[in-house]
Chains A and B, each alone.
Chain A
Amino acid sequence: MHTAAPAIELERRRDEIKQRLDTYRKRITVCTGTACQAYECLGVFAAIEEEIGAQGLESAVEVRKTGCHGFCERGTWVAVQPEDLCYQRVQPHDAAQIVAAATGNGVVESLLYADPVSKTKIPRGDDIPFYKHQQRTLLAPNRIIDPANLDHYLSIDGYRALAKALLCMTPEEVITEIGSAELRGRGGGGFPTAKKWRTARDAPAESKYVIVNCDEGDPGAYMDRSLMEGNPHAVLEGLLIGGYAVGASQGVVYVRWEYPLATRNIQIAIEQAAKAGLLGNDILGSGFDFHVEVHRGAGAFVSGEETAMIAAIEGKVGEPRLRYVYPAVRGLNGKPTVVNNVETWATVPAIVDRGAEWFRSIGTAASKGTKIFSLVGRLENTGLIEVPMGTTLRELVYEIGGGIPNRRKFKALQIGGPSGGMLGAEHLDTPVDFEALAEVGAMMGSGGIVVMDEGACVVSAVRDLVSFCRDECCGKCTPGREGLRILGGYFDDICGGRADESVIAAIEDVTHLMRVASLCALGVTAINPVVTSLRGFRGEYEAHIRQRRCPAKVCTELVEYHISQVKCDKYCTSCLSGCPTPGAIVGHKGVRKRIEQDKCIKCGVCEEVCPTRFSAVARFSGEPIPAAFRKGR
């Protein structure tokens, strides 16, 4: 028997919260994401709180700790509402100024973001180019709410979608809604979410499971962490709706151990939701029972694959299995199980709340909605972004990312994690869309984009990705295990100047075999960076092989550091004191310094610490050393 009382109670509570929060004149939010924590954001928060207390403004100005605002490059970020003023690179000693400006309706000019070209100060967050070209649906609450405060989530209409699903929709209707929104999994594969849900719903079983996949192992990607840290209730709400739709009463949140803050925040969210009657038995009087537990992953990239994740949750070694029966039919403990990525779950409440029509109106023909990317590497503006599907890579790099710093040129971008593609400038007009990216040999993956400028060596970057996959490969199937081991050896040879011409054909053989014979998607896609880089950057491979030369001067085995005997200042000892290797730099105050090649470990400290007015240290690769750099002058 359904009763509407708990739902009415929830709405009453929501109204109360909104009224209470409306009494504040100003709201100051401080980003406390993991990246900003490296910039002392907790000190900033404490200083602002203290300042508000000292001035007796507790009832007028509210201060909140929020999740990641996204533009991590410029942390610590502080935002002032309702004006949406955004302050960058805030330090604890700026607190007094910020509070004074907020109460006097002023602005702290010195902390505003300045346009890099025109130098004009931009007060409003949404006008900053990094944010202006985005469409932030999932990420928007990150700047507003305290993730550890359920009231904040309720104040932005959180759990309204859950009430709607439980009380006004049948499970069938929920699946149909998600299906007509054409939501596709955000974890990499892009599989239609509703199809997975329907398979699990139709599978006959007494108990079923829904799982949140937060084993975000792709190097260069952190959107899941940011959602789990910044808005865990949205993930939980999505999971509840999914559980209701497929007929599961048990949910599991799998979080990797490298994300302690995400683990803590989702645990807090679960406790709060249970206390508020949003988890447990007879949720909102609908008769629906649902329980959630958190499983900490113990660190294995391959556990992000859904069959491996299920094995890990069962307490076994997290290795994938052949998927002749899909987990949606037989998964955790042999029961039908739906595994979806964090971002997918967080999207569900928005679709239920705003309708499939709204979601479908965003994006391209086959990829709907918005997608979060972590846009990192050699860019002016790095951080977490959310854009409609169909946005081109060029827009991401140049409009949101602000282009490449120091007037250097774009060289390549690596999209989709270690199994993604390495795309050169000729692919910049590719839209972010599951099919369009697959066509150029890359993939959406979980959405990591690492940009490289001309100072990066593509071959060495691919070597890092191959050795990452080799180390993370579970070893269960021979093509994955041996293929990656052999490829790793080839790349070590190329970067070490020991390979001959035949290596490229050998690489092509191995990658072909891995594509057709690997057991799971990780083996099949691990070759993507190799194949795409061989296609787009063949010249760079050939330079390493034929001329034993690294054009970008990155591969340390092919590089030598030398000090110019003309530019080196006799009385400067920066390199001597910076060098970590005893005896690698010879000389003392009063003479020009030299590098002993057989002792040098090529760490680059001397080049970094040499004052720019001298710029005496240079790297050489496969070229004659100019006279000015030779000893005996």
Chain B
Amino acid sequence: MLIQMLLDLQERFRWLPQELLVELSRQAGVPLARIYRIVTFYEAFSLAPKGRHVVRVCTGTACQVRGASLVVKVAEQLLEVAVGGATSDLEFSLETVNCVGCCSIAPVVLCNEVHHAKVTPAKVRELLDLYK
């Protein structure tokens, strides 16, 4: 159940601050080391604050074949942040995701869980502007 609890916390707070994990360890009676082992293993967990908008570029094989790595480059350039990071004003987080299973509408970009279809490099600016 530990993983399910952590998923709920991640969903609610959008990241897992240390104090939260210490408190979870105390209340659930689970060693902190075990909690950290789990949160660093799985991709769903974040140990750093996330931006208000989370932009996730799918880099599954189908998206790659249709140019996802170029989409990543443009997004990095426009947001001035590397993949895995958040902008200094915490407006945007930029991430890649292995496959969201929408391969026939590739390349796919998820913004706050909304799927955007056929996002070519030239369409990234317009897409980000929707969230600015």
- Complex Cα spacing A300 to B38, Å: 11
Q: Which of B37, B61, B106 is in CB contact (< 8 Å) with A418?
A: B61
Q: Which of B69-84 contact A (CB under 8 A)?
A: 69-70, 73-74, 77-78
Assess whether A479 is interfacial by the CB under 8 Å rule: no
Q: Which of A220, A300, A605 is in CB contact (< 8 Å) with B62?
A: A220
A35-B104, A604-B67 in contact; A219/B41 too (CB < 8 A)? no
Q: Which of A395-425 contact B (CB under 8 A)?
A: 414, 417-418
Assess whether B20 is interfacial by the CB under 8 Å rule: no
Are B104 and A315 in contact, with the CB atoms below 8 A?
no
Number of residues of chain B lying within 8 A (CB) of chain A: 49
- Complex Cα spacing A450 to B61, Å: 7
- Chain B nearest CB from A579 CB (Å) reads 9
- Complex Cα spacing A456 to B2, Å: 43
Q: Which of B23-53 contact A (CB under 8 A)?
A: 37-38, 41-45
- Chain A nearest CB from B95 CB (Å) reads 11
Identify which of A57-65, A95-103, A253-261, A283-291 touches chain B. A253-261
- Chain A nearest CB from B122 CB (Å) reads 4
Interface centre among B66, B78, B103, by most chain A C-beta atoms within 10 angstroms, is B103
Are B103 and A222 in contact, with the CB atoms below 8 A?
yes
A295-B4, A377-B66, A578-B122 in contact; A603/B74 too (CB < 8 A)? yes
Q: Which of A28-42 contact B (CB under 8 A)?
A: 34-35, 37-39
Instruction: Provide the residues of chain B in CB contact with A468, threshold 8 Å.
Output: 98
Q: A-facing mask of B91-126, CB < 8 A → 1, else 0?
A: 000000111111111101000011111001110110
- Complex Cα spacing A451 to B41, Å: 32
Interface centre among B4, B98, B99, B101, by most chain A C-beta atoms within 10 angstroms, is B101
Q: Which of A222, A556, A601 is in CB contact (< 8 Å) with B102?
A: A222
Q: Which of A283-315 contact B (CB under 8 A)?
A: 295-301, 312, 315
- Chain A nearest CB from B65 CB (Å) reads 5
Are A312 and B3 in contact, with the CB atoms below 8 A?
yes
Q: B-facing mask of A374-402, CB < 8 A → 1, else 0?
A: 10111000111000000000000000000
Instruction: Provide the residues of chain B in CB contact with A465, threshold 8 Å.
Output: 61
Number of chain A interface residues as a range: 35 or more
A603-B77, A605-B122 in contact; A299/B115 too (CB < 8 A)? no
Q: B-facing mask of A123-153, CB < 8 A → 1, else 0?
A: 0000000000000000000000000000000
Assess whether B87 is interfacial by the CB under 8 Å rule: no
- Complex Cα spacing A603 to B99, Å: 21
Are B66 and A299 in contact, with the CB atoms below 8 A?
no
Instruction: Provide the residues of chain A in CB contact with B122, threshold 8 Å.
Output: 578, 605, 608-609
Assess whether A317 is interfacial by the CB under 8 Å rule: yes
Are A35 and B74 in contact, with the CB atoms below 8 A?
no
Are A382 and B101 in contact, with the CB atoms below 8 A?
no
- Chain A nearest CB from B119 CB (Å) reads 10
Are A225 and B101 in contact, with the CB atoms below 8 A?
yes
A378-B65, A604-B67 in contact; A298/B43 too (CB < 8 A)? yes
Instruction: Provide the residues of chain A in CB contact with B62, threshold 8 Å.
Output: 219-220, 376-377, 382, 448, 450
- Complex Cα spacing A376 to B99, Å: 13
- Complex Cα spacing A283 to B95, Å: 46
Residue of B nearest to A229 (CB): B101
17 intermolecular pairs with C-beta atoms under 8 Å apart: A217-B99, A220-B61, A220-B99, A222-B102, A296-B4, A312-B3, A377-B62, A377-B65, A418-B61, A450-B62, A452-B65, A456-B65, A464-B69, A603-B77, A604-B121, A608-B120, A609-B122
A residues near B, CB below 8 A?
A: 34-35, 37-39, 72-73, 75, 216-222, 225-226, 257-260, 295-301, 312, 315-318, 374, 376-378, 382-384, 414, 417-418, 448, 450-452, 456, 461, 464-465, 468, 472, 474, 556, 578, 580-581, 601-605, 608-609
B residues near A, CB below 8 A?
A: 1-4, 6-7, 37-38, 41-45, 59-67, 69-70, 73-74, 77-78, 97-106, 108, 113-117, 120-122, 124-125
